[in-house]
Each structure stands twice: as C-alpha cells, then as structure tokens.
Amino acid sequence: MKNNKIAFLQLCSTLFLIVFLLNCESRQKQTEDSRENFSDLKQKQYYIEGKRLYKIHCSNCHMDEGEGLARLIPPLAQSDFMLSDISRTICIIKYGIAGEIDVNGVYYNQPMPGLIHLKDIEIAEIATYIYNSWGHNEGIISIPQVKEALKSCNKPTLPNQQ
C-alpha cells in the first residue's frame, strides 16, 4: 500500500518534470531559430537596436508583430510592397508616404509621417529589423545602402505636416 502510493507520487512528479522540460526546450528552440541565421555579429547588433527603435517609432501603428491595423495601416510582416523594394522602404521611413498603395492586394490610403530626424545608422537598424523579422530573411541593410537609397527619394506632400 505504502509502496504503491509512493510509486504513484514518483510517477506523477516524473511526468510533471518531463512536461516541464519539454516545454522549456521548445521555447528555447524557438528563440534560437530566429537568431541562428545571424552569423554576422554586426547584423545581430543592428537587429537588436532596430527592434528597440521599431518599438519607439513604428509599432504604434504597424503593431508589435508588424500586422498593421485592418485596412487602415498596412502590415509589414509578409508585405509584398515592402519586400519588393528595399530602397523605397528606406525612403518611406525617412520621408513618409501619402496616397494609395496596394499591399498584398488590399488598398491602403493612410498618410504616414516621415521620421526625418533619424540618422542613417538608425534607418539601417530599423530596416535590418523589419527585413529579418516575421519570417523575412534579407540580411543586413547597411549604412551605404541607406545613403544610396536616400539620394533618390520621392518626397511626399503630407497633410497636417508640422
């Protein structure tokens, strides 16, 4: 009787421990997956700093997971518009955008103010973050790449511009 109960308790605790450990492992695996592609230390730095800047400057509208908001604010995650033209995205981050755009077959028409005060390195960091999150894998967006893109931007006329 006594032995049975102890054995039962042991079984319970072992099962609990196994479930617990499995849970831990799968979580760890997930975080490793998204980072392991980053062989380059510099890219890692850009990504981490970009994530911080994204939270400050972008996530209010584009949301934490880049999902956007209904048909008002376009998604960044798996956005054909964003993925098809990195230079255009760099320009939009700096100078904003106005007018209708087609993102994944949906029309959006909400003006976005530019982040004109951002330095080139900050734009590179944000771009590196959004181009390597949510299943994207475009590698580092460098400062020279940002400088080059900013040479030929279509600067929009935004309503309510301060």
Residue 42 in contact with another protein, rule: CB under 8 A: no
Q: How many CB atoms lie within 10 A of CB 140?
A: 20
Pick one of 45, 49, 51, 73: the residue that binds another protein (CB under 8 A).
Answer: 73
Distance CA 127, CA 91 (A): 11
Cβ atoms 111, 96 nearer than 8 A: yes
Q: Could you tell me which residues come within 8 angstroms of residue 161 by beta carbon, excluding any fewer than 6 positions away?
A: 113
Q: Least distance to another protein from the beta carbon of 96, Å?
A: 9
User: Looking only at residues 116 through 155 of this chain, which bind another protein when binding is defined by CB under 8 A?
Assistant: none
Interface segment toward another protein; rule CB under 8 A; list 87-95, 102-110, 118-126, 132-140: 102-110
Q: Count interface residues toward another protein (CB under 8 A).
A: 22
The Cα–Cα gap between 61 and 67 comes to: 9
Beta strands in the chain (DSSP E): 96-97, 101-103, 106-108, 112-113
Q: Interacting stretch for another protein, rule CB under 8 A, among 2-10, 27-35, 75-83, 84-92?
A: 2-10
Where on the chain is the footprint of another protein (CB under 8 A)?
Answer: 1-2, 5-6, 9, 60-61, 63, 69-73, 108-113, 159-160, 162
